[in-house]
Structure 1
Amino acid sequence: MRKIAVFCGSSSGQSEMYTKAAQKLGNEFASRDIKLIYGGGAVGIMGAVANAVLEGKGTVTGVMPKMLEEREIAHPELTELVIVDSMHERKSTMAELADGFLILPGGAGTMEEFFEVFTWAQLGLHAKPIGILNIDGYYEPLLNMLDHMVRESFLHESFLSMLLIGSDSGRLVDTMMTYEAPSIQRYVNDNSIDYDDM
C-alpha cells in the first residue's frame, strides 16, 4: 500500500494539535515513501499534511473540482493536480487512485467522504483499509454513534472491524499496511448470507 487518500478539514480547527498531528502524518508519509492523495487545497489541516509531505520530498496528488480551482484555493506546489468536473467525480477519482483511506478531523465534507468509503466497503465494492486518526478524542462522538447504530440494529457489529482507529499516526499507518479485509456478508435479521452465494 503506497498511496493513501486523506480526508480532512480545510480549517485548522480550534486546537493547534490538529495541525501538528497533520504535519506528523505528512512526515510519516514522506519518510515511508507513501504517496498522498487528497483534496488539493492549501489551507487548514488539509494544507498542513500536504506541506509536510512536500517538505519531506514526498509525492502529493491533489484532486479538485474546477469550480474550486477557479476560486484560487488549489495548492500551487503539488506534484500533480487533477482537475475534475464535480465533487462526485473528485471522490470517485480519489478512491480509484488510493490503496487506502485515512480520516483526520474535519466537518460535513469529511464525514460525507468517510461514510461513502465505509459504505462502499460494507457493500464489498472495495477491500481497502479505512483509518481514523482520533486526535485528542475528536472522533469519540462519531464512534459512540456507530456503537449506537449497532445497538439499534442499523449497523452490523462485524462492519466495525473494517475501521482502524488510533491516535498515533505512525502506529495507525502500520496497522493499515497489514490490513486484511473481513469477508463481506449481507445480514438479514439474524441470518447471514455470503454475497458470493447470492
Structure 2
Amino acid sequence: MLSASLVLTVAIGLPLGVVLFLASPGQVWANRAAHLGLSLVVNLLRSVPFIILLIVMIPLTVALVGTSLGVVGAIPPLVVAAAPFFARLVELALREVGRDTIEAVTAMGATTRDLVMRALIPEAMPGILAGITVTAIALVSFTAMAGVVGAGGLGDLAIRFGYQRFQTDVMIVTVVLLLILVQLLQMAGDRLVRHFSRR
C-alpha cells in the first residue's frame, strides 16, 4: 500500500510541482491565472483532513478501482492526499535552484524540456529526495488511518485488535513497528540526500 501509493504520488506530484514552478511569476511559463488556479487546487486538497477525504472519495474510488476496501481501495485517496503535498515540496525545491543557472541554460537555447530534465531536476535532486522522504512518512500515517475503512495494514490491525478487542499488546507492537518503519524511511532518505548533495 505504501510503495504503490508513493510511486503514484511521485509520478503525479513531480510534474505537477514542475508546472507550478514554471507557471510562477518570473519563470519560463509565467502565467498568473494558471499558477493561481493550480495553487488553489493544490491548497484545497492539502487542507482536507485525510480521514474526511477517505470517506468523501468512496464513490470515486469505487468508480476508479471497483472497490473502496482493502489495499486497492486505499490507494486513490492516498494518492489524492499526498500528490498535492509532494507537488508543493517539489516547487519549493525548484525555487532553490540558482537563478543564474536557469538563465545560463535558457541563454544557450535550451528547450523547456531540456531546462527541466538537464538543469532544474538534477540541481534540485537533494531537495526532491528530501520531499519524497517527508511524503513517504506522511503516507505511513495516512495508511494507518486508512485502516478505519478496512484498508488493511498496520492501521487495520491496531484498530480491529488493539482498540476494538482491547488487546494493548497488539497496539503497542503496532506503534513500535510504525516507529521503526518511519525511522528506516528517514534514514534511507537522509542517505540519498547526502549522496546527491555531494555530486
User: Into which bin does the TM-score normalised by the smaller protein fall?
Assistant: under 0.3
The structure whose residues are more often helix, as a share, is 2
Q: Please tell me whether Structure 1 or Structure 2 has the larger radius of gyration of its CA atoms.
A: 2
Give the TM-score normalised by structure 2.
0.26
Q: RCO higher in 1 or 2 (8 Å CA, sep ≥ 6)? A: 2
